[in-house]
Amino acid sequence: MPPAYDAVRVNRCQRRAHRCPPSAPPWEPVAQLHQPPVRPVSWQNSVPGTEGTAASTGKDRSVKQLDSPDHVPLSPAILYFGTPVALISSTNPDGGANLAPMSSVFWLGQTAILGLGTRSQTSKNLRERPECVINLPDTCCVTAVDRLALTTGADPVPEGKAAVGYRHVPDKFGHAGLTAIASDLVGPPRVAQCPVALEGRVMAAHAVETSDPEEAGSVEVFEVRVLRVQVYERIRMPGTENRIDPDRWRPLVMSFQKFYGLGEQVLPSRLAAAIDEEWYR
């Protein structure tokens, strides 16, 4: 879906006149967006004399009880429920290329959101030389991706990483058996073996607040504007110029530190049937 925080572009409003009446401005700054009032939790379903009942806890009595296992509370150390693996190529201070595997990535329109540890070499590179390539491997690349585990471009190795076995590797491409090829619009190279390569420029970086004071400032989020998308011809949707065929694209996925691939489509999407992909452009 389009980025919720981004300004709505004028041409998009022109194409969707029914959603942007002439009297309305083409966009409104995020800070000025009107938000519905937030009522305190204690107000919701608060009925005197019902403490401890469904009315006091906010539970809906009309919800049907299904014959299924109950949910149980957990406190996982990580919340990696399944996201695509990405290999981020960036430029080191000496001009060489760094390559880092990660899976805290998603997209909002043409912007990629990357979550990285602030002590990583990739984070330092992106702050000082704000360009990168987000290379997306498929399942055929899993062995090469796994070779990058427990390696870092940082020298010396950060203390926390050294404690769990990380070691400094200056040539990540050679170590993984991957080939670096020149990008079109940015300095860092692409990975030849990855079916998708997104060349991008860092637009902003944000610190992420943590619940542990000792970990304050240890994680940050980068907004990367995608400048060019490069893909293997075999994953282009037949008969189209600018579409990926999801039946031919099999991204490598990481879920709780384990590698997986996608299966077949489980159900045709009503969203895809109703909305042409170009509507989002």
pLDDT for res 202 = 99
- Residue tagged 């805290």 (tokens): 104
In a domain, 225, yes or no: yes
208 band by pLDDT with thresholds 50, 70 and 90: very high
Domains in the chain, number? 1
Q: Contact at 8 Å (CB) between 271 and 280? A: no
- Other beta carbons less than 10 A from residue 219's beta carbon: 18
pLDDT for res 62 = 66
C-alpha–C-alpha distance, residues 53 and 51, integer Å:
6
- Going by C-alpha positions, the residue among 116, 84, 107 that lies closest to residue 221 is 116
- State pTM to two decimals: 0.77
Helix (H) or strand (E) holding 128: helix 121-128
In a domain, 25, yes or no: no
pLDDT for res 4 = 40
Mean pLDDT of all residues belonging to the chain: 84
CA distances from 185 to 42, 97, 178, 197, 201 (A): 53, 15, 21, 12, 9
- Going by C-alpha positions, the residue among 230, 257, 228, 220 that lies closest to residue 125 is 220
- Going by C-alpha positions, the residue among 166, 73, 69 that lies closest to residue 117 is 166
| Amino acid code (one letter) for 15 | R
DSSP symbols for 161-177: HHHTT-EE-S-HHHHHT
pLDDT for res 63 = 67
pLDDT for res 10 = 37
In a domain, 97, yes or no: yes
In a domain, 176, yes or no: yes
What letter does residue 220 receive in the DSSP assignment? E
Q: What is the CATH number of the domain that holds 158?
A: 2.30.110.10
Helix (H) or strand (E) holding 12: helix 10-15
Structure tokens that stand for 217 in this block: 């400032």
Range of 257's domain?
83-230+243-265
Report pLDDT digits (tens) over 103-157: 999 999 999 999 999 999 999 999 999 999 999 999 999 999 999 999 999 999 9
In a domain, 107, yes or no: yes
In a domain, 164, yes or no: yes
In a domain, 274, yes or no: no
In a domain, 137, yes or no: yes
pLDDT for res 57 = 54
